[in-house]
Structure 1
C-alpha cells in the first residue's frame, strides 16, 4: 500500500501541474478573462490528490492502514471519485472557456457521483483509522511477554 499511495500522490501532482498549465494555455490562447471551473482543477487535484494522499501515507506508516480492507477500499474509491470530480471540472471549464453550453444536467449528475464517491472514501478512511487506533490501544493494554535470557 505504501508504494500505491506514493504513486497515486505523484500521479495527482502531475495531473495538478498539467491542469494548471492547460488552464493558463487555453485561457491565454482564447483571450478569456472570466471566471471558469477550469481555474480550480489545478488546486483541487494538488490538494485533494497529492497533499491528501501524502497525509494518508504518513498515517499508513504509523497505523498500518492496509491491515483493514476498508483502508484499501478507501484509497481506490478516493482516486476514482477524485478522477470523476476533477474530470467533470475539466470538461465544464473547457466548455466555459470555449463559449459552449456548459450548464448541462448530465455533467452536474456525473460531478455529483464523484462527490458521493469522495464522501464514501472519507467514511471508509475514518472507519479504518478508528479500527486501527482501537487495535493499537488493545495491543498496548496487553502485557508483553517476559524475555528469557540464557547466561
Structure 2
C-alpha cells in the first residue's frame, strides 16, 4: 500500500509542476493563448491517471488486498507506471516542440502508443488480480456465513 501512496504523491507533485511548466513555458515563448499544445494536457493526465487512479487502487487494495496476487499486482504497478511515464514524457516532448514551432515526427506518436499499450497491460493485470481478490473475498464471506 505504501508504494501506491508514494506513487500517487509523486504524480501529484509532477502534475502540479507540469501545470506550472506549461503556463510559464508558453508565456516565455509567446505561444498564442488558446492555441493547442500537448503540454496543456500533461497536467490533467498526471493528476488523473497518476494521482486519482492510484488513490482509487489504494482504496481497492485496502478493501480487497489485491496485492495477494503478488506477481499480477507487481506487474500492474510497474507496467502502469512505466506506461504513464512514457505517455506523459512524450506529451511533454511533443508539446514542447509545438510551442517552439518545430515539427514533430511519427516516432513520437509511435512511442506514445507504446506508453498506452503499457498502461493497458497494467490495467489488465490489475483487473485480473482484482477479480481473484473479489472471488477470494466472496469465498471467505460464504464460509463465514455457512459456519
TM superposition score normalised by structure 2: 0.94
Residue deviations 1:100-128 (CA, integer Å, cap 9, x gap): 112x1111110010000011111111111
Q: Which residue of 2 aligns with 1:21?
A: 20
User: Would you say how many aligned residue pairs link Structure 1 and Structure 2?
Assistant: 144
Residue equivalent to 1:149: none
Match of 1:81 in 2: 83
2:98 aligns with 96
3-state DSSP of counterpart to 2:102: coil
Instruction: Using the TM superposition, give the Cα deviation of residue 73 of structure 1 relative to its aligned residue in structure 2, in angstroms.
Output: 1.1
Question: Based on CA coordinates, which of the two structures has the bigger radius of gyration?
Answer: 1
Q: Which residue of 2 aligns with 1:51?
A: 52
Partner of 2:5: 6
Deviations 1:7-33 (A, max 9, x none): 000000011001000000010011101
Distance in 1 (CA, whole Å) between partners of 2:146 and 2:113 is 52
Residues of 1 paired with 2:3 and 2:77: CA distance?
Answer: 9
CA distance in 2, matches of 1:75, 1:67: 13
Task: Spell out, residue by residue over 1:115-147, the C-alpha distance to the aligned partner (whole angstroms, 9 max, x if none).
Answer: 00011111111111110000011111224798x
In the other structure, the counterpart of 1:107 is 108
| Superposed CA RMSD | 1.4
Equivalent-residue separation in structure 2 for 1:145 and 1:91 (angstroms) = 58
Q: More deviation in 134-143 or 13-22?
A: 134-143
Deviation at 1:4, TM superposition (A): 0.3
Deviation at 1:65, TM superposition (A): 1.2
